[in-house]
Structure 1
C-alpha cells in the first residue's frame, strides 16, 4: 500500500463533488439566480483555479503530466492492453480533464452572464448570447460525466479496486516500486490563498468595469 492521493487533492475532489451537486440541483430546479447557485459558482471557480495550479506544482499523481496521455494509450487501455500508470488510469485522466474543462467553462460563463457583470456592455450582445447558450448546454454534459464516473466507481468496486476508499484515506495498492513525489501541504495552502486573491481581483475588476 502506498499513498497515492495527497490530502489537498482528496479535499479538492470532495469539495468539487459537493459544489457540483449544489450547482446542478439549483440550476435544474430553476434557481439559477439564487444565492446558493451563485455562491457555489464563485467557489468552484476558485477551486478550479487552484486545481489547475496544483496540476503543475502538486504531488506526482496530481500533476497533469502524470495522467494526461496520448489518445493511443487511452485506446490501448480500453482494448485491455498493458498501459503503465501510477495515479489515474488513462480513462480516469481523460475524465479529470473533461470535468475540469467543462466546470471552468460553466463557472466563467455563469459569472459573465450573471447580474454580477454587465456582459453586454463588456463583451457585446453576440458573445453574451453564446455564453448564455453555453451555460445551458453544459449541465447535461456534466450530468453525463458524473453518471459515467459513478458507474466506473461501481465497476471498479466489483473488480476489487475500492476507488472511494482510496480517495478518502489516500492509500491504494500499487505494483510501482518507485517512490512517488509527494506534495508540500504548506505550498498547497499558499497556492490556495493566492488563488483566493486572484479570484477576488477578477471579481473586483468585473465590478469596476460594470
Structure 2
C-alpha cells in the first residue's frame, strides 16, 4: 500500500472551509436577527469559494480536476459492476462525484438566489434593486424553503456516505485532512508544490474580487 498525494492543500482547505461556512450559514439563518449580518458575509465567502473551486477544477491537482472524477457512464458502469480501476476510486469515486457535483450545483443556486433575497424587515441581498419585486419574492421563497432543505439534505447524505464507507473500512476523512491515500496500485500523484499553492492563492484572490464586483453592482443599481 503506497501513500500517494491525492488531495492537494488548496483542495483540502477549500473542503473544510466550505463545510464550516455551510454549517455556520444554516445556524445564522435559524438564529436570524443580527446574525443575518454574518449570514450574508458567510454567503459571500461561499460565493468566492465556489468560484475558486470552479477554476481549480481545471488547473488544480490531478484528482481535483473535473476531468479526473467526472462520473461518465463508463466510470459509473465499472464502479457499480465491481470493476472499478484504481483511477476510478483514487479521488472521488463515481457515486461520490455525483454527490459532490450535486452539492456544488445546489450551493451555487443557493448563493445566487441569496443575492436577491429580501426578508421585508431589515435585510436584503445586494442585487435586489436590479430585479422586480415578483422576482425577489420568487427567489426569496426558493432560498428559504427548497434551496435550504436541498443543501441540508445533500450535506446529510454526504456525511452518511462517509460513515458507511468507514463501516466498510474505507476512510475518506484522513486523506482529506492529510492529503495522502494508501493505494494498492500506483496512480498519478497530485501536484502539490509551493507554485501550485501560490496559484491557488491568486485564484482565490481573483474569486474574491469577482464577488466584490458583483456586490458593487447592486449598490450602484440602488444609486441609479
Q: Given the two structures, how large is their TM-score scaled by the length of structure 1?
A: 0.90
Q: Helix, strand or coil: the match of 2:115?
A: helix
What is the correspondence of 1:1-210 to structure 2 with a 5 Å cutoff? 1-31=3-33, 34-71=36-73, 73-74=75-76, 76-77=78-79, 79-84=80-85, 85=88, 86-114=90-118, 115-117=124-126, 119=128, 121-136=129-144, 137-183=146-192, 184-210=196-222
Instruction: Structure 1: state its 5+ residue gaps.
Output: none
Q: d(CA) in 1 for partners of 2:159 and 2:216?
A: 37
Q: d(CA) in 2 for partners of 1:95 and 1:71?
A: 15
Once superposed, what is the RMSD of the aligned Cα atoms? Answer: 2.0
Q: d(CA) in 1 for partners of 2:46 and 2:34?
A: 15
Q: d(CA) in 1 for partners of 2:113 and 2:48?
A: 14
Number of aligned residues: 208
Q: Given the two structures, how large is their TM-score scaled by the length of structure 2?
A: 0.85
Alignment deviations for residues 8-63 of structure 1 (CA, whole Å, 9 cap, x no partner) = 00000000010000111222344597112111111111111111111111011111
Cα pair 1:116 1:207 within 8 Å, conserved = no
Q: d(CA) in 1 for partners of 2:33 and 2:103?
A: 22
Q: d(CA) in 2 for partners of 1:174 and 1:151?
A: 23
Instruction: Structure 2: state its 5+ residue gaps.
Output: 119-123
Cα pair 2:7 2:190 within 8 Å, conserved = no
Q: Helix, strand or coil: the match of 1:142?
A: helix
Bigger shift: residues 1-10 or 182-191: 182-191
Q: d(CA) in 1 for partners of 2:127 and 2:169?
A: 52
Cα pair 1:31 1:37 within 8 Å, conserved = no
Q: d(CA) in 1 for partners of 2:203 and 2:175?
A: 24
